[in-house]
Structure 1
Amino acid sequence: MLTTTWEWIRLLGFLAYFYFTISIIFGCLRKSLFVKSHKNLIYHIHINAGWLGLLTVIAHMLVLVLDNYEPYTLIEILIPFLADYQTIASGLGTIAFYLFLIVLMTSDVWIRTMRRSIWKNIHFLVLPAWLLSLIHGVLIGSDTANGLIIIFYMVSAGFTLAILLARTIGHRKKKGTAPNHNL
């Protein structure tokens, strides 16, 4: 049973990273050449995991304000690198949040008002956002010393990178040998 705000903060941060990882994996699978069936299911997992990640990271940020041990102010949460606690790691988390927010807003809210090429370029901001969230979790997580947590980070990062690489290679083979920047 979770009893302290710090435990809730860590759980919510961990879950946000997990949901964003799932969203990225299923987003890559959705457009991959090796997935022929269940594209609609894959799409819905991709979308729902992204929104669950956003809701979870917002809860993570709100509980940080409530924490009595190492409380954050709203300004420290919303403006990168202003936090007193773990300034760099906290700032990376804030930047990751804004990048995820931009991707989700342009995907579901503003997608109909912009050119597809612009949307696609914005959508790929999810990759640096995910990487920043991984670095944030590893650097600031109080449970990063736990072997199972390290294994989870390594497996999730390895799997995500493998899926991304497979998708990239598949698209290059489909288009010929010329690099394709419109994955």
Structure 2
Amino acid sequence: MLTSTWDWIRLLGFLAYFYFTVSIIFGLLRKSPFVKSHKNLIYHIHQNAGWLGLITVIGHMFVLMIDHYEPYRLGEILFPFTANYQSLSSALGTIAFYLFLFVILTSDLWIRTMNRSIWKKIHFLVLPAWALSLAHGVLIGTDSENPVILLFYLFSAGLTLSILVARTVGQLTKKVDVSTSHHK
């Protein structure tokens, strides 16, 4: 049972990482050459998981400010490297938040006014954001020594990286196939 703000901080942070991971995995799958059907469903899971990640990370940040054990001031949450508690690890989470926020705003609110190639470059900022959030969770998370939590981090990282590699290889193979068919 969640009885303290610290429990809520941990839960919301972990959920934010989970939702962002789901969003990235489904985003990678949607544009992968090996996924042929259900692209609309995959897109909606990708988009909704991203928003759930953003909402839960904002909740995580809010509860950090009302915690009695190790309260953060608003400036410590908003400005990287200013937190008294584990400044570097906290900064990783702050930077990840800004990257996720930028990607979601450009993808869902400003996409129609942006150049597609610029949007695509911005959108891939989710990968460093996700890596920073993973590092933040592992380094500052009080549950990081729990084997189940560590296994989840390893599994989610392995799955995400595997899908990224498979998508990249699939797209490169597709480009090579198209290039060779034009030369025949």
Task: Summarize the alignment of residues 1-183 of structure 1 with structure 2, pairs less than 5 Å apart.
Answer: 1-176=1-176
Partner of 1:180: none
Q: Please state how far the C-alpha of 1:34 moved relative to its aligned partner.
A: 1.0
| Structure 2 unmatched ranges of 5 or more | 178-184
Cα distance in 2 for partners of 1:88, 1:139 equals 9
Letter in 2 for 1:37: S
Q: Please state how far the C-alpha of 1:67 moved relative to its aligned partner.
A: 0.1
Q: Please state how far the C-alpha of 1:155 moved relative to its aligned partner.
A: 0.2
Tell me, what secondary structure is at the counterpart of 1:102?
Answer: helix
Tell me, what secondary structure is at the counterpart of 1:35?
Answer: coil
TM-score normalised by length of structure 2:
0.96
Tell me, what secondary structure is at the counterpart of 2:2?
Answer: coil
Cα distance in 2 for partners of 1:113, 1:43 equals 20
| Structure 1 unmatched ranges of 5 or more | 178-183
RMSD over equivalenced CA pairs, Å: 1.0
Cα deviation per residue 1:67-107 (whole Å; 9 max; x = unaligned)? 00000000000000100001000000000000000000000
Letter in 1 for 2:31: K
Q: Please state how far the C-alpha of 1:18 moved relative to its aligned partner.
A: 0.2
Letter in 1 for 2:28: C
Tell me, what secondary structure is at the counterpart of 1:129?
Answer: helix
Cα distance in 1 for partners of 2:93, 2:34 equals 33
Tell me, what secondary structure is at the counterpart of 1:176?
Answer: helix
TM-score normalised by length of structure 1:
0.96
Q: % of aligned pairs identical?
A: 73
Tell me, what secondary structure is at the counterpart of 2:35?
Answer: coil
